[in-house]
Chain A
Amino acid sequence: MTLHELPAPAEIVERTEESASIFTLHLRFVDPARQAAFRSSPGQFNMLGMHGVGEVPISISSDPDETGLIGHTIRAVGRVTHALATLRPGDRVGLRGPYGRGWPLQEAEGGDVVLVTGGLGCAPVVSVIDYIMRRRARFGRLVIIQGVKHAEDLIWRQRYEAWACAPDTQVWLAADVGGPHWAWDVGPVTVLLDHAEFDHSKAHALMCGPEPMMKAVAERLLADGMPPERVWLSMERNMHCAVGHCGHCQLGPLFVCRDGPVFPYPVLAPWLRHRSL
């Protein structure tokens, strides 16, 4: 008797230091057949296992069409992620996935895309930016909106500066608390929506970050005339199994691991209204 969801060993081929606590692991399944068969779409996640420590859900940050390596950008926050932070090229982890439903990038083609993230760098959305940049002609305007608490929380500053110079691309940044080298806005993310230029009737909004921020932005976009089913949120819940069995990721009737983590706003709206669901 075997279990479907047995992890497979994967090797760290490369490791990128993104900031003091954020790093990217570029992985390859040890079994070439498994690597060749791996297909994912942006917004999906893998369960990454540290031998003897545990498993955690981590979004796939690499481009799905580049089958060479699987990228995971991780912030070290606790037990498992701190252990993952110690890994170096040649080390091995257990990998199972991909799981969940990702961003609606095919539906978004032909229109503008508005990406809204809050908090410390949001890997699921950065992978979307890379994805669109590589297929630039298929999309309309790209609006990148990022809010941080403190000016010094912004990672990937050079990348934001480079994206800001790309054609048809707007970058709007805001910090709740600015600083001496902060040239952008100060205030909540929603103020940036005043500057952003895009066609509400044809755009898709994709967001990830703290729930109150996503809720506030979604409500603002709806008030500005965006159809609710074009507003997408990536949700985070405690996850153990990733296959809809363990019950940890439930939000109302939803299993975030299986039905999400990316959901259209109308599916989430009844549950986001209530605290502590």
Chain B
Amino acid sequence: MSIVTTEQGFLARAGLDRLIDALRARDYAVIGPRVRDGAIVYGSIGAAADLPTGVRDAQSPGRYALEPSPLARQFAWANGPQALKPLVFRPRERLWASWRTPTGELHFGAAAEAIEPTAVIGVRACDLAALELQDRHFLREPFPDPAYRARRDALFLVAVHCTHPADTCFCASTGDGPEAESGFDLALHEIDDGFIVAAGSDVGAAVLAGLDLPAADQARMDAARAGVAAAAAAQSRALPSQDLRATLLERLESPHWDAVAERCLSCGNCTAVCPTCFCHAEFDEPASDGIVSEHYRQWDSCFTAGHSYLHGIVIRAETRARYRQWLTHKLAHWHDQYGRSGCVGCGRCISWCPVGIDLTAEVVALAGEGKA
């Protein structure tokens, strides 16, 4: 693993505000990790002091909690529930409005949205990989989504390579982390006394040049490399392979799906936190005036009955079939649809499952059951 570009510089910890100011000077709204309601989520960042210093997350199946940390670092934690997904694929979004005139004419108008250039600080490698997967889905020809495109193009991404993975993380096994390799404008290695900043795009290089940083010395470079290597080594979970297509599709009738269904509540939390899940529902909301109706799309989950409803029948009526759909879509059919697994190893579905179902353990159990 290496730092992606040769253009790099050392930013002392006290100088982090210079980076934030430089982004703001380029008219970006700056957002980054903030502690809110007991979790680290993205919010508006005015200064480096807003970043979550002195806390870290404790995660395990079915559990996420913040705890005090003695480290004087801003990024010594692993991802909270929120990924980049809501910034590009909105949880709820108006697609169009229709209205009827008194003479019975019907008109349609596209939803207009002012899109603000946004810089995101603290993006993790797994979430960059997930964003790239969402790009493959939403920007696919012949119907690339223009709203997604516009919001995507307005993003400036400042990655921070992971040094403190959670117990639930397994990005090393999916090949998506802990070091961000591409997809960012700037990437930071956090070390004891500050950051090594590298550029990953032309606009990132321009911001970096403007900061006029001294080159990082060898000792700091070594510390950075050691930090991500230790993060990879610290991960205790893993998927057994980056291509589980055959393994899972040979086991579509395994009794193990029933065993998971005995625990799974079909609540859909896993799909809500997953940074690659793209399912959504569309529906009309008529205004009370009876004239205007708005057409929305909103995140949906394959764990709902409505997801597979056809008048009179629900195709995936049982939890067994829904969990099978989620896992085989994520780990098998994504290969057919988008050329790789749909899982980036972020571990969110493990931490945020109310009953602590762990997909890595379920895959291992399924594989052990033999083909069925």
Contact = CB atoms under 8 A, between A and B. Distances in A.
| Genuine A/B complex | yes
Interface of A: 1-9, 30, 49, 51-55, 77-78, 90-94, 236-238, 240-241, 243-248, 250, 252-253, 255, 270, 274-277
Given A246-B300, A247-B302, A276-B315, A54 B283 contact: yes
A91 B100 CA distance: 11
B143 A246 contact: no
A246 B146 contact: no
B108 A7 contact: yes
B229 interface: no
Given A1-B112, A237-B310, A247-B300, 8 more contacts: A1-B146, A2-B146, A3-B95, A51-B293, A53-B286, A240-B280, A277-B252, A277-B316
Contacts of B28: none
Given A51-B293, A244-B140, A246-B281, A6 B302 contact: no
Interface in B95-136: 95-96, 98, 100, 104-108, 110-113, 115
Contacts of B320: 276
Range for the number of chain B residues in contact with chain A: 35 or more
Interface in B307-343: 307-312, 315-318, 320-321, 324-325, 329, 332-333, 336-337
A2 B145 CA distance: 10
4 closest A-B pairs by CB: A253-B336, A247-B279, A52-B286, A276-B321
Nearest to A211: B315
Contacts of A241: 280, 282, 297
A247 B302 CA distance: 8
A92 B307 contact: no
B284 interface: yes
Contacts of B333: 250, 252-253
B237 interface: no
Contacts of B311: 77-78
Given A1-B147, A246-B282, A274 B336 contact: no
7 contacts: A9-B105, A55-B282, A93-B106, A243-B143, A246-B279, A248-B300, A248-B308
A221 B310 CA distance: 27
A248 B100 CA distance: 29
Interface in B58-75: none
User: SS class of chain B's interface: helix, strand, loop or mixed?
Assistant: mixed
A253 B337 contact: yes
A49 B286 CA distance: 13
Given A3-B96, A7-B98, A91-B104, A250 B147 contact: no
Contacts of B306: 238
Contacts, number: 136
Contacts of A2: 110, 146
A6 B104 contact: no
B84 to A, nearest CB: 18
B137 interface: yes
A37 B329 CA distance: 37
A4 B110 CA distance: 9
Contacts of A277: 252, 315-316, 321, 325
Contacts of B150: 1
Contacts of B145: 3, 245
A81 to B, nearest CB: 8
Contact of B110 (A6, A9, A276): A6
Contacts of B113: 1
Nearest to A255: B337
Contact of B96 (A7, A9, A78, A246): A7
Name, among A6, A51, A255, the residue most crowded by chain B CB atoms within 10 Å (CB to CB).
Answer: A51
A7 B252 CA distance: 39
Contacts of A53: 284, 286
A51 B98 contact: yes
Contacts of A51: 98, 100, 106, 284, 286, 293
Contact of A276 (B106, B295, B318): B318
A245 B280 contact: yes
A4 B307 contact: no
